[in-house]
Chain A
């Protein structure tokens, strides 16, 4: 244990407004901490540079999950266990529920938050491929008001995002329109549980008579941050699922990803497995199309 608790200030304002006021009073000086599953690891390793932290744990506004007939609005401090337990998310947004189930152990799921996962911004973030495949929107909040953006515009680089220094991630909005979509999510890790993704692929698609009418593809660990695979989507949209389509999609995928060698895996492996996952997804689409 290499962290010194006396060297860090941690405050827990009782309300969201109080948090926002604090962030606004000294922009960039306060680091929000939700479940702590990332920051406390850095703390114990002696790597936590943030000396002033503001706790988001226990602020009801941030943890609520609301539903309307069209959407699900997930508070940024909702834990992954909250997501797994939510009936609508389990039923209608299964990719997100699945991602929540493999983000770490049960003890991690009770504390790790959806917002923390996004703001931490690891390229391997477990929830990101599902959110991208569902075309999620994020909502940010500050004393200056709220704003919304497609989640795919949130990350700007390795561990950097569009949040202003006084801004907080407030909620993630998902539409309830994927009941008829084919959905796919697969994470390839170092073991079955408690694994950081070496590659992950998420997808939602609408297929009619073997032609792809709608397609969203997203990946983790293939770029400095989780990405939509726009070129691969273009190679698939409006096409029927044939050998030629699959080959073209593979090429597109390979051209738009930049996997690296790192402590967990190799670029070569990531590239190949990414195309294998894509193949698996497209094969499933085709098989289901033939059955229908």
Chain B
């Protein structure tokens, strides 16, 4: 889709709804949809970026997580009007030029994905973490992923994958996820 091309095929700036201009995975786009339409649904239905998933519609499971203006958000809770002018990154934007992102490579090698439905959101949350904190402790990894529910893995191999990716990105060893990671009261 080229810049300013309308995802619905209608002229931008339909009188009923304001046009939403945003950048998704580096591409400038315009959509013409009701302003209350959830960002999640715009991504999946209007842009056919189905990597982002709906698991609960309540902001509890995190499978809809994307990055908006450099912060992690649950896209099921964002009315698309509030994404006007924003830069959005979804899982489809992680790999670069056909190369797996270090997180994706780590998840592959370390069993971070089982059924895969939580994986896109989990990758976005992990990517957000590594950007803010390139050498996260076990406790920081747990906190960063607390909003992404995984029912398959029990999280152990996800922690290991994130730690391995952090290692790979910085070539310096980080704490493993098996250390006593939770804060004492």
Interface residues of A (CB under 8 A from B): 1, 3, 5-6, 8-12, 33, 35-37, 40-41, 43-45, 53, 55, 57-58, 81, 104-108, 110-111, 192-194
Q: Are B38 and A44 closer than 8 Å at their CB atoms?
A: yes
Q: Are A12 and B125 closer than 8 Å at their CB atoms?
A: no
Beta-carbon contacts of B85-100 to A below 8 Å, as 1s and 0s? Answer: 0000000000000000
Q: Are B59 and A41 closer than 8 Å at their CB atoms?
A: yes
Q: Are B128 and A106 closer than 8 Å at their CB atoms?
A: yes
Given A1-B57, A106-B128, is A10 in contact with B81 using a C-beta cutoff of 8 Å?
A: yes
Q: Are A1 and B54 closer than 8 Å at their CB atoms?
A: yes
Q: Which residues of chain B (53-109) have a CB below 8 Å from chain A?
A: 54, 57-60, 62, 65, 71-74, 76-79, 81-82, 84
Q: Are A105 and B146 closer than 8 Å at their CB atoms?
A: yes
Q: Are A111 and B33 closer than 8 Å at their CB atoms?
A: no
Q: Are A104 and B147 closer than 8 Å at their CB atoms?
A: yes
A12, B35: Cα distance in complex, Å: 10
Q: Are B59 and A110 closer than 8 Å at their CB atoms?
A: no
B143 neighbours in A (Cβ, 8 Å): 106, 193
Closest Cβ of chain B to A63, distance in Å, is 13
A-B contact pairs, 29 of them (CB 8 A): A5-B34, A5-B41, A5-B79, A9-B35, A9-B36, A10-B81, A40-B76, A41-B59, A44-B57, A44-B58, A45-B57, A55-B81, A55-B82, A104-B59, A104-B147, A105-B147, A105-B148, A106-B72, A106-B125, A106-B147, A107-B59, A107-B72, A107-B73, A107-B74, A108-B147, A110-B73, A111-B73, A111-B78, A194-B147
Given A104-B59, A107-B73, is A58 in contact with B82 using a C-beta cutoff of 8 Å?
A: yes
B71 neighbours in A (Cβ, 8 Å): 81, 110
How many residues on chain B are close to A (CB under 8 Å)?
A: 33
Q: Are B77 and A192 closer than 8 Å at their CB atoms?
A: no
Q: Which 9 A-B pairs have the closest CB atoms?
A: A105-B147, A193-B146, A44-B57, A5-B34, A10-B35, A5-B36, A5-B37, A40-B77, A110-B71
A1 neighbours in B (Cβ, 8 Å): 38, 41, 54, 57
A79, B76: Cα distance in complex, Å: 18
A3 neighbours in B (Cβ, 8 Å): 36
- Choose among B33, B62, B78, B128 the residue that contacts A36 (Cβ–Cβ < 8 A): B78
Q: Is B144 an interface residue when CB atoms closer than 8 A count as contact?
A: yes
Q: Which residues of chain B (19-44) have a CB below 8 Å from chain A?
A: 33-38, 41
